Structure 1
């Protein structure tokens, strides 16, 4: 048997259907049209949980992409309800952009403008526009991109600043989460700006979208990939001093295939060559972060904390796609074998066959467990996209 024989399209179709079914039954709030703020591993809903722009836009992206890839009335209706919820609840009509979080009743709780969340909004609006030929969603994506170019781009040093107050004035604490450094520029936000602008250019294809995507592609290679080669750089000062030598293996492998997607969307031969070289370098290094069971370990700190060997759900989803992408680029069986190992790990360690969806941590990481099955930082984005990507690629789509 070849490594790819363990990667069967029908299995990924079943995986995608299972994710969609769980979210339709448990993840979405029929009263508001949005996603519930938090759902425990036993599928119990925490009705009073805060709802974040990241979860809601990721859910919108998923059901919009699903409605386009595997059309069904359920997916279409869910995407439409989520679009209304996001635009009516999170969009700041006065200052532009999306606020960070709301209470369960829709009242704003944190009105800061985190650029990471704006990137996911562009990504989601583009998916909605593509699924429904929706001019309003398209215009929202374009308007938000223009706002970010005006407000968030650092005109002097380049790159996107991390966070702002509601009116886009500066803030001292720019952190995306409590575990992050308070850094003005981060790999994570720039990666999702790359992803957002890839979708925007695929949708719009005009001079503005090309300029945006070209600039972020070149910047990402220069600042986040090339300095270390095998691992992306994570945190920078405003003047591009590297603030952290940690290694994030999920981000490494996610970057590898998103760079290829961006270069392919640009259709630029030279950038395709650059993306291929970077992707294979990153994927090669990520092979060393696979453990004996086939799971991708989380990260390595440069200080005394050292290796964090937990297996979180999202690096597994990105590793599945990233290693298969490397196989498509290189023809090397070892990358397909790595993807097959990761897929086996996902099926045995993360997918909750009894109650649905994926677990935050691998079963083998017990007694540790994740904070919830769905919530502020966990939606149907990484795993749902991985299933769609594998289906698309096994149907014959190129890397």
Structure 2
């Protein structure tokens, strides 16, 4: 990766974030009447649905606080972050049990809750960034409370007691939430939660015998020869891979970097579409048909997470495979997803790269995976202190 390419990528990620993606959301999603953010937007930013997803309230609030803390202390970013957190605090918690809702009306009236507690994890990191930005201890205390509710909630789905399972989602989000809160509020016990979660992923989900990172396994990590057990989510596993690589980088721990790159090594060939390019959504470990009918679509976020993972792996190890993979996924994603007319990215493509839906956001897509990717990759390329090729892996 020569200097010209490094500068080109740095500019693509930085300007894409600050001049395209962030302005799209600050122009179109801010609800000045009822608070929070409306994220169900069409191609041009027009509103498709006024309901609000709690995930996106927390995620956008986190992003704005993160930009204020890491990029520049722009007053408008802090004001919008406080705007988002006010809606979270006023409307997003169920007073009956303290749990957070998943789906609200525009005014903040509750519609439904999910079995898992990811709303709490995203709200926690939002509070953490506001605590760091303002020095307000109440925000830090709220972040700790939400983190405790997240990690102590029983969120693992079970197919009755006949076939109990464990999924990779909970430990991997615990890793990232712990990392964010360690950085923003020096969360007590963060390293212990991160260690426990990495150990669970390595022990139960990383299967060396078949070179695979399993999404859903039995309680002891055993493979389950059913739809749920055979279905892999390559983008999810690759996201977890870079969380672990990043932890290795933060600690100077080559073993963690090695674990993260191994997970990437296992899931790249399973996720990369050799026919059309891009990362597939779901695949079956044995090559059997997948039950989810959107399995071969190209969603935005697996491409985002793979761009981060491959760039981080290359910058940490110097292995040219990762530079090549990064170029492949970067080039495919940037050829097909960006909307040159209205800005931001389309979220949902057909397998061959044709646009399936003009939606720019909804309950699931909002200002998170894409701007986080742009921020992470910009910072990796710009940081003169970043350890280039420091880890020699077996």
1:296 corresponds, among 279, 282, 307, to 279
Shift in Å at residue 172 of structure 1? 8.6
Structure 2 distance, partners of 1:341, 1:112, is: 36
Residue of structure 1 in register with 2:239 after alignment? 254
How big is each residue's C-alpha offset from its partner over 1:88-136, in whole Å with a ceiling of 9 and x where there is no partner? 1102344223122211221111145522222222222223323333322
Query: Where in structure 2 are the equivalents of 1:320-331 lying within 5 Å?
Result: 320-331=307-318
- Does the alignment pair 1:353 with 2:347? no
- Does the alignment pair 1:313 with 2:300? yes
How big is each residue's C-alpha offset from its partner over 1:41-74, in whole Å with a ceiling of 9 and x where there is no partner? 34220244x3221121111111111222332222
- Does the alignment pair 1:385 with 2:367? no
SS of residue paired to 2:279: coil
Structure 2 distance, partners of 1:347, 1:24, is: 22
Q: Cα distance 1:291–1:89, how it changes in 2: closer, same or farther (>3 A)?
A: same
Q: Which protein is richer in strand relative to its size? A: 2
Number of positions where the alignment pairs a residue of Structure 1 with one of Structure 2: 371
Deviates more, 1:354-363 or 1:136-145: 354-363
Query: Where in structure 2 are the equivalents of 1:79-228 lying within 5 Å?
Result: 79-112=81-114, 114-149=116-151, 151-152=152-153, 161-162=155-156, 185-205=166-186, 207-226=188-207
Deviates more, 1:382-391 or 1:189-198: 189-198
Query: Where in structure 2 are the equivalents of 1:58-73 lying within 5 Å?
Result: 58-71=59-72, 72-73=74-75
Segments of 5+ residues of structure 1 without an aligned counterpart are 153-159, 164-170, 174-181
Deviates more, 1:198-207 or 1:345-354: 198-207
SS of residue paired to 1:114: coil
Structure 2 distance, partners of 1:111, 1:198, is: 26
Structure 2 distance, partners of 1:183, 1:345, is: 38
Q: Residues 231 and 290 of structure 2 are in contact (CA less than 8 Å); yes or no, is this contact kept in structure 1?
A: no
- Does the alignment pair 1:10 with 2:35? no
Q: Residues 217 and 262 of structure 1 are in contact (CA less than 8 Å); yes or no, is this contact kept in structure 2?
A: no
Structure-2-length-normalised TM-score? 0.84
Q: Residues 349 and 363 of structure 1 are in contact (CA less than 8 Å); yes or no, is this contact kept in structure 2?
A: no
Q: Residues 27 and 374 of structure 1 are in contact (CA less than 8 Å); yes or no, is this contact kept in structure 2?
A: no
Structure 1 distance, partners of 2:4, 2:264, is: 17
How big is each residue's C-alpha offset from its partner over 1:183-224, in whole Å with a ceiling of 9 and x where there is no partner? 763212321121111222233436433322222222222222
SS of residue paired to 1:390: helix
SS of residue paired to 1:8: helix
